[in-house]
């Protein structure tokens, strides 16, 4: 099977490529334009072990300008993970890259895919499309994003649905809930918290720290999305990909303190606009149709990410 992964040098993309290559019959084409919050150097490290692989090929290109007909030639499955991430940076003058990379690129890829004999077009969305909800949220919940970022990802979802209905593109959509672990982006909370604590710098928390998240360890996330390439009866479906346990930000800081045996110097700042107070994924649909069962506890995942951050910063 020939599989195209956009955003292949990113956090989730690099882990997905590695997993897909464990199937001997898979050939993986990774595409990345090396933009976003993660530095070029870190993205290169993300894919360092992939580059020598005989069944992996990296294409560094901008999907807005690339010859997509050529890129999609003989491709069986597309994982469209590429995009501009992050809630905080999507406000004001920084909105343009979100429109370009989350909406225009998605439309262009769908347009190129509509006449191809694809088996799957898997679109990576986010829990940010739900907005503020109480309790567990299922895939059929009303969608009301709180941020410009969430708006652009929801726009991508709507585009996918239009092409699915009009051109029968074999669409599957996934909504990620706060994925963490080794290779996590430097702007994401766990990466920042761990690096700040290890470097004995003030830990910046936006809000009072009582906000809670459904944290998903990266290997669990990949367990949720890898089977989509092969699964029957998933076309047209949307799946939540959430984690094993929820916690508040203050709980996470306490866990990191215990793991590192270091005390955090916490500085609380005003809450950022666009971020919900709580997220909680109902993953029963993924459990039923994909046999999805998150395994990694928050403590186990944080230990692995602490070790990763130590290696990245030589701490």
The distance between the two most distant Cα atoms of the chain, rounded to a whole number of Å, is 57
Distances from the Cα of 221 to the Cα of 13, 169, 216, angstroms: 11, 24, 6
- pLDDT at position 52 is 96
Convert the pLDDT of each residue in 98-139 to its tens digit.
Answer: 999 999 999 999 999 998 999 999 999 999 999 999 999 999
Specify whether 165 is located in the same domain as 26: yes
Alpha helices in 170-261 (DSSP H): 189-198, 218-225, 249-260
- pLDDT at position 113 is 97
Given 79, 130, 149, 217, the catalytic residue:
149
Determine, yes or no, domain membership for 157: yes
- pLDDT at position 39 is 87
- pLDDT at position 97 is 94
Report the DSSP pairing between strands 212-217 and 245-248: antiparallel
Determine, yes or no, domain membership for 113: yes
Specify whether 77 is located in the same domain as 193: no
Q: Is 149 a catalytic residue?
A: yes
| Residue 205, domain CATH | 3.90.25.10
Q: How many residues comprise the chain?
A: 315
- pLDDT at position 60 is 96
Specify whether 222 is located in the same domain as 263: no
Specify whether 21 is located in the same domain as 124: yes
Q: Average pLDDT across each block of 10 residues of the chain; the chain has 315 residues. List them in order.
A: 98 98 98 89 94 97 96 98 93 93 98 96 98 96 97 98 98 98 95 97 95 97 98 97 95 98 95 92 97 97 98 91
d(CA 238, CA 175): 8
Specify whether 55 is located in the same domain as 152: yes
- pLDDT at position 230 is 96
Specify whether 113 is located in the same domain as 252: no
Q: Are 123 and 105 in contact (CB under 8 A)?
A: no
- In the chain, the number of structural domains is 2
Q: Could you say which DSSP state residue 270 is in?
A: P
Q: Are 211 and 246 in contact (CB under 8 A)?
A: no
Convert the pLDDT of each residue in 161-178 to its tens digit.
Answer: 999 999 999 999 999 999
Determine, yes or no, domain membership for 286: no
Show the domain range for 228.
2-180+218-241
What 3-state class would DSSP assign to 240?
strand
- pLDDT at position 208 is 95
Specify whether 204 is located in the same domain as 115: no
The pTM is what?
A: 0.97
| Residue 122, domain CATH | 3.40.50.720
Determine, yes or no, domain membership for 47: yes
């Amino acid at each position: 099977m020939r599989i195209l992964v956009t955003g292949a040098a990113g956090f989730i993309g690099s882990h997905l490529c590695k997993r897909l290559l464990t199937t001997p019959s898979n050939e993986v084409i990774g595409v990345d334009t090396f933009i976003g919050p993660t530095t070029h150097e870190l993205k290169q490290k993300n894919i360092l072990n992939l580059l020598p692989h005989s069944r992996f090929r990296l294409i560094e290109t901008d999907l807005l300008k690339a010859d997509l007909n050529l890129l999609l030639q003989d491709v069986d499955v597309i994982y469209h993970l590429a995009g501009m991430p992050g809630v905080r940076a999507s406000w004001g003058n920084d909105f343009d890259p979100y429109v370009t990379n989350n909406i225009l690129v998605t439309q262009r890829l769908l347009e190129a895919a509509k006449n191809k004999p694809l088996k799957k077009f898997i679109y990576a969305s986010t829990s940010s499309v739900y907005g503020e909800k109480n309790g567990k949220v299922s895939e059929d919940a009303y969608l009301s994003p709180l941020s410009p970022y969430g708006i652009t990802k929801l726009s991508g979802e709507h585009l996918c649905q239009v092409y699915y209905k009009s051109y029968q593109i074999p669409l599957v959509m996934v909504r990620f809930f706060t994925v963490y672990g080794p290779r996590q982006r430097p702007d994401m909370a766990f990466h920042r918290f761990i690096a700040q604590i290890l470097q004995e710098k003030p830990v910046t928390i936006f809000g009072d720290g009582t906000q809670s998240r459904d944290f998903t360890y990266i290997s669990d996330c990949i367990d949720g999305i890898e089977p989509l390439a092969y699964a029957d009866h998933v076309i047209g479906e949307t799946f939540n990909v959430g984690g094993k346990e929820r916690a508040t930000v203050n709980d996470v800081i306490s866990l990191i303190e215990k793991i590192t045996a270091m005390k955090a110097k916490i500085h609380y700042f005003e809450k950022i606009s666009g971020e919900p107070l709580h997220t909680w994924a109902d993953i029963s649909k993924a459990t039923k149709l994909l046999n999805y069962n998150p395994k990694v506890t928050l403590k186990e995942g944080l230990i692995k990410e602490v070790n990763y951050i130590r290696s990245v910063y030589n701490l």
